[in-house]
């Protein structure tokens, strides 16, 4: 990752134009050409520095549901349960954390009905209760990482 890559990442965390030649517009701001921008974006997606390029959707406004879920899993069972949880396509990401509640994952479902059923299925398959904590209020932040 060089200075140009950093500039691209920082710029594209602040939005992307909705216009006929958006790459050309951004490339112009960064002082590079359109082809270079596209090529570098493709490479950073391929190498996994970037996980997505495009629109970020508001799940609830699309009729879907999102929830943060936590589980308390004994160390000896942890890997088995992680494998079982991650097998659900609704699990968007999953982190171990250093607390009695040691497994934390985000569930994203197409409908709120599916949310209720997938919570039950995870508890059934793993044998442990799932504590779901959907957001009740989101406080404004500008999530971005300066690189």
Partner 1 sequence: MVLNKQDCQLIAQIQDGLPLTSRPYGEVGRRIGLSEDQVIHRVKALQAAGIIKRMGVVVRHHELGYTANAMVVWDVPDHQVDEVGARLGARDCVTLCYRRPRRLPDWPYNLFCMIHGRRRERVLEYIDQLVITEQLGEVPRKVLFSGRRFKQRGARYQ
Residue 28 or 134 with smaller CB distance to partner 1: 134
Closest approach of partner 1 to the CB of residue 88, in Å: 10
CB contact at 8 A, 147 and 10:
yes
Gap between the Cα atoms of 130 and 115, Å rounded = 12
Q: Residue 98 is encoded by which pair of tokens?
A: 């250093």
- 99 included as an active-site residue: no
Closest approach of partner 1 to the CB of residue 121, in Å: 17
Gap between the Cα atoms of 12 and 142, Å rounded = 13
Catalytic residue among 21, 72, 93, 99: 93
Residue 46 or 124 with smaller CB distance to partner 1: 46
- Scanning the structure block, which residue is given the tokens 């300066």? 146
Residue 74 or 139 with smaller CB distance to partner 1: 139
Gap between the Cα atoms of 82 and 126, Å rounded = 9
Closest approach of partner 1 to the CB of residue 69, in Å: 10
Q: Which are the catalytic amino acids?
A: 93
């Amino acid at each position: 990752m060089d200075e140009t890559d950093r500039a691209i990442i920082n710029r594209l965390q602040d939005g992307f134009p909705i216009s006929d030649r958006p790459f050309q517009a951004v490339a112009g701001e960064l002082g590079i050409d359109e082809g270079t921008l596209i090529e570098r974006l493709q490479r950073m997606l391929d190498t996994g520095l970037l996980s997505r390029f495009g629109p970020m959707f508001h799940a609830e406004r699309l009729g879907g549901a999102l929830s943060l879920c936590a589980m308390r899993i004994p160390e000896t069972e942890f890997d088995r349960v992680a494998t079982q949880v991650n097998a659900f396509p609704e699990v968007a990401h999953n982190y171990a954390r250093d607390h009695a509640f040691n497994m934390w994952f985000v569930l994203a479902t197409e409908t709120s009905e599916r949310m209720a059923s997938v919570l039950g299925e995870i508890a059934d398959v793993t044998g442990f209760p799932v504590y779901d904590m959907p957001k009740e209020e989101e406080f404004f932040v500008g999530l971005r990482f300066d690189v």
